Amino acid sequence: MKQIFILLLPGILLLSCKTQDIPNPVHPQMLYSNLNNAEVKFQQPQLIDINADGTTDFFFSTQFVGDPVLQRDRLQYMAHSGIGTQLLNNANDQSPMLGNGERVSLTHAGYEWFEISAIVLAEKITSISEPVHWAGLWKKASHQFLPVQIKKNGLFYHGWIELSFDTITEKLVLHRSAISTEAGRDVRTGF
């Protein structure tokens, strides 16, 4: 009997030490907006009131930049924040392209939140010496998430805007947005 117990003991111990999933903290309450696949094309900007307070929080636009020295033109697709709204910027003035379920929080390695910011998401470059090509982190975006932040009464609210980019039809598409209604809470993109 002792021999059977000794042989079964390791198996019982292994089964009892099974890793358990630790539940994630409850996601904060969010205010969601369907942006109805609004299109940003050349000279066709789109404005977003992400927290539904009647004012524009973020806007998306294009700008045409000519460079006579390098003999090239750039059609840039941009995201803008205003007073009290912020976008993440890195040293190259780019904002991260997040996938579904990624965290938006007060800190992001390699990035800082900036108020009154303008980020080039993607750009079409036309040059005399090179073929036409696209550049920018967002040039191949398909339902990716731009992290955003709103500061109100000294408190920070995190959120996201879901975007896609189509280089064939030369447009940025705005699918939906969300902002936390609870200050200081991390949020997950797409949730």
pLDDT in tens, 35-70: 999 999 999 999 999 999 999 999 999 999 999 998
Averaged confidence pLDDT in the chain:
89
pLDDT-derived band at 23, boundaries 50, 70, 90: very low
Distance CA 37, CA 106 (A): 28
**pLDDT score, position 35:** 98
Longest dimension (CA), the chain: 91
pLDDT in tens, 80-130: 999 999 999 999 999 999 999 999 999 999 999 999 999 999 999 999 999
Closest C-alpha among 146, 51, 156 to residue 102: 146
Cβ atoms of 38 and 46 within 8 Å: the answer is yes
Distance CA 142, CA 8 (A): 53
**pLDDT score, position 25:** 60
DSSP 145: E
